[in-house]
Structure 1
Amino acid sequence: MRISANPLRGQQFPAVLLLIAAGLGILLANLPTHDGIAAVLDIHIAVPGTALDLSIAHWVSDGLLAVFFLVVAIELRHELTHGELDSPRKALQPAIAATGGVLVPIIVYLLIAGDASTASGWPVPTATDIAFALGVLAMFGRGLPSGVRVFLLALAILDDIIGIIFIAVLFAHDVQWLLLVLAVVAVAAFWALSRLLHATGHPAIALAMAAVGVVAWGLVAASGIHATIAGVLLGLVMAPVPAGRVRHALEPTVNGAILPLFAFVAAFVVIPAVSPTELSPAFWGIVIALPVGKIVGISLFGWIAMRIRPRGAAPALPFADLLAAGALGGIGFTVSLLLANLAFAADDGIRDQAILGVLVGSLIAVLLSAVVVSLRSGWYRRVSAASS
């Protein structure tokens, strides 16, 4: 009997699960259940003997989400060393497209929400949710050539790198340099242990790595750098073979529990009882910048990149395929939700509207990309049928 693959390792089911979790978060936040759930999310849990004292909501966004970024960093390293971005020739075209996919949404956002109270949200519409975008592509892109998926994957990975840089640079506060140096030492110890694990395979070393990784996370969190950066650093320095095993082991948990839980917590916001004209410019800036800014920036800059591609590079994608990739790039979701929380941490009202903007803008991008990708894949299927 054939055993079916774990759906949590696929692309379609995790994307659907994220949508359900976010929808459930919004729904329960706007029902009489709000106060009870909000009280639970606001319960603080401290780590004895340390300065760490976080609410449950922050344990999810700062703690569990660091595991997601660990997996992301492992994939980033693989793509930069052995995958779609392992040479300048491969990276040039998606890098130019990714640049457009960051710059144009920033410009669109600032044109709409550039006043002093909301301008800090400009990083929010720059992100692409790689898992969500690939999930939509898998659902509606049957028949598309593999080059579209490769281009989207490289594009989204570069977006992730930019998002990680934004989190590390823009949202550090009152940095405690001694703790940060100790965190770097812990990361170096983690690197050394991962090499030792690769050489010996001894289970005790794996346990030591887990302990050192938790210490590194705690030091980064206490240093004033956002705690998810610890996951990035650990994923980047881990030896390739243990890293691959860790990614394989954690993938179902990340897709099936960590990301849906974060989506629920992040989307647990009250919809403002105001008319559309009274909504914050941050809401409208994100709603428009995600689907519109991304599709314009990625397709335009992608088209320019295809015109100047070096000799021996991958064949140029048709402009219609670039439009499909641009529409998929507008699905910000996970990283955009995190950026919205960080950008407006000091103003709960604008933060909640920015989060709603991410959800609405990403939903528009999902619907738009489903239409564009379906039309494009249908065209390819007709061409294939006519030529056979």
Structure 2
Amino acid sequence: MSFVRSERVAAVLLLVAAVVGLVVANTSIGAPVLALEKVEVGPAGTALHLTLGEWVSEGLLAVFFFVAAVELRNEFTNGQLNTVKKAIRPAVAAAFGVLVPVALYLSITAGSGYTRGWPVPTATDIAFALGVLAIFGRSIPSRLRIFMLALAILDDVVGIVIIAVFFAHDINPLLLIAAAITVTGFAFLSRHIGGRFRVLVFLLLVVLAVLVWVLVALSGIHPTIAGVALGLAMAHQPGLRTRHTLEPFTNGVVLPLFAFTAALVPIPGVGIGELSPPFWGILIALPVGKLVGITLGTWLYTLISRDNRPHITVHGLLAAGALGGIGFTVSLLMNELAFDNRPEIADQGTLAVLLGSGISILVSAILVSTLNTSYRRLHRLRQQAVALSVKRSDERPPPHPA
């Protein structure tokens, strides 16, 4: 399963799973599959009485958020975001990459009563965006890759905050305090995972992690936040080892399964004029808002600041902006949360996320490919110049003796 760690493979699996889900939902087998997704499992009358689809989006997806949180912590402590100077440029880009899509969505849906969906076009799917960059941009310099990674990570932070703050309901403070205490115990134990009792400690960590998830789910906060809290709390080295172990599972099972269930949407039998404002808001704000916001924010920062780090070309900024418009996983989750009481609008929102992300995938693939070709040509010209310089040096006659 080690090949599933590849960003390219992860992106392909996500796309295939979403396409299969959309196709299945609109064929003869769609009805029984959709019925299966709605089967309820868990203690009746509690927040743990969920459908199979909800167990994927609230249970399994928490594992993905744990892995993402471990990576976040590593980047903030030892990686590309461990100083203000490193973080400021992608932070400005991420901020504009959130504000512009929100403004676009709100302007399109103004007066419709569906402004609650404003978070949907703010997300970037880090796995998918970096997968497209890995597939089409093998010759792109590291500074653009680092910028895109930092941008996607900060975008994930924004998404986590939005889910925790704006999609909480009927919060139970006592259960939240119990969850915080359990996370503290998890953090302490994770720093003592070695030695002859490591198996026992590992089992206790698993029990505590499940308990944190249950407490968060019952507290009124979306349970994926439990994964974030545990990932940030876990000791650094054990966290990185756990992330490495779980990565094939999240890339090969969790994310494709979530993409499949989220894309199980029958295409509405309505005309274009009958599609709701949220559909158009998401469809336009996700690819256009992200591209404009990220490009504009970085350009303004470069113009105003005296940042002397290597410059990113306009072509590179446009490519990063287009990659940022691949909302996919987190956008699909936010769409489910925003329109949980309006399933017909949620279905249209899902289609809009898939179409908007598809447009961003196509545009970013073109921009990254052309950028990659430019850098490859530049690299070839430099190699030829060096070879010519060496040849001329070899052909130069030796100096005459004095």
TM-score normalised by length of structure 1:
0.96
Q: Distance in 1 between matches of 2:166 and 2:45?
A: 29
8 Å Cα contact 2:336-2:346 kept in structure 1:
yes
Cα pair distance change 1:49/1:102, threshold 3 Å: closer
Q: Distance in 2 between matches of 1:377 and 1:141?
A: 5
2:93 alignment partner in structure 1: 97
Is 1:379 paired with 2:361? no
State the Cα distance separating 1:314 from its structure 2 match.
2.8
2:221 alignment partner in structure 1: 225
Is 1:8 paired with 2:4? yes
2:397 alignment partner in structure 1: none
Q: Distance in 2 between matches of 1:53 and 1:266?
A: 19
8 Å Cα contact 1:198-1:241 kept in structure 2:
no
Q: Distance in 1 between matches of 2:156 and 2:194?
A: 27
1:354 alignment partner in structure 2: 349
8 Å Cα contact 1:62-1:228 kept in structure 2:
yes
2:272 alignment partner in structure 1: 276
Q: Counterparts of 1:139-154 in structure 2 under 5 Å? A: 139-154=135-150
State the Cα distance separating 1:142 from its structure 2 match.
2.2
Q: Distance in 1 between matches of 2:372 and 2:47?
A: 53
Q: Name the SS of the counterpart of 1:197 in structure 2.
A: coil
Q: Distance in 2 between matches of 1:369 and 1:170?
A: 30
Deviations 1:208-265 (A, max 9, x none): 0000000000000011100000000000000011101110010000000000000011
Q: Counterparts of 1:198-217 in structure 2 under 5 Å? A: 202-217=198-213
8 Å Cα contact 2:125-2:330 kept in structure 1:
yes
State the Cα distance separating 1:328 from its structure 2 match.
0.6
State the Cα distance separating 1:6 from its structure 2 match.
2.4
State the Cα distance separating 1:318 from its structure 2 match.
1.3
Q: Which residue, 285, 301, 312 being the options, matches 1:317?
A: 312
Structure 1, unaligned stretches of length 5 or more?
Answer: none
Is 1:238 paired with 2:234? yes
8 Å Cα contact 1:291-1:364 kept in structure 2:
yes
8 Å Cα contact 2:112-2:277 kept in structure 1:
no
Q: Distance in 2 between matches of 1:357 and 1:161?
A: 23
Q: Distance in 2 between matches of 1:328 and 1:17?
A: 17
1:137 alignment partner in structure 2: 133
8 Å Cα contact 2:47-2:217 kept in structure 1:
no
Larger Rg: 2
Is 1:29 paired with 2:25? yes
Deviations 1:68-122 (A, max 9, x none): 0000000000000000100000000000011110001111111111234221111
Deviations 1:310-333 (A, max 9, x none): 55x531211211111011110000
8 Å Cα contact 2:58-2:222 kept in structure 1:
yes
Cα pair distance change 1:310/1:239, threshold 3 Å: farther
Cα pair distance change 1:322/1:226, threshold 3 Å: same
Q: Name the SS of the counterpart of 1:314 in structure 2.
A: coil
8 Å Cα contact 1:14-1:256 kept in structure 2:
yes
Q: Distance in 2 between matches of 1:158 and 1:238?
A: 20
8 Å Cα contact 1:306-1:317 kept in structure 2:
no
TM-score normalised by length of structure 2:
0.93
Q: Distance in 2 between matches of 1:69 and 1:199?
A: 28
State the Cα distance separating 1:43 from its structure 2 match.
1.2
Q: Distance in 2 between matches of 1:201 and 1:377?
A: 50
Structure 2, unaligned stretches of length 5 or more?
Answer: 384-402
**In the alignment, residue 348 of structure 2 is paired with which amino acid?**
Q
1:344 alignment partner in structure 2: 339
Q: Distance in 2 between matches of 1:117 and 1:270?
A: 24
**In the alignment, residue 57 of structure 1 is paired with which amino acid?**
G
Cα pair distance change 1:271/1:329, threshold 3 Å: same
Cα pair distance change 1:215/1:173, threshold 3 Å: same
Identity of aligned residues (%): 52
Q: Distance in 2 between matches of 1:141 and 1:276?
A: 36
Q: Name the SS of the counterpart of 1:196 in structure 2.
A: coil
**In the alignment, residue 172 of structure 1 is paired with which amino acid?**
A
Cα pair distance change 1:51/1:376, threshold 3 Å: closer
Q: Counterparts of 1:47-66 in structure 2 under 5 Å? A: 47=43, 52-66=48-62
Q: Distance in 2 between matches of 1:49 and 1:327?
A: 44
Cα pair distance change 1:232/1:364, threshold 3 Å: same
Q: Which residue, 187, 207, 215 being the options, matches 1:191?
A: 187
**In the alignment, residue 341 of structure 1 is paired with which amino acid?**
E
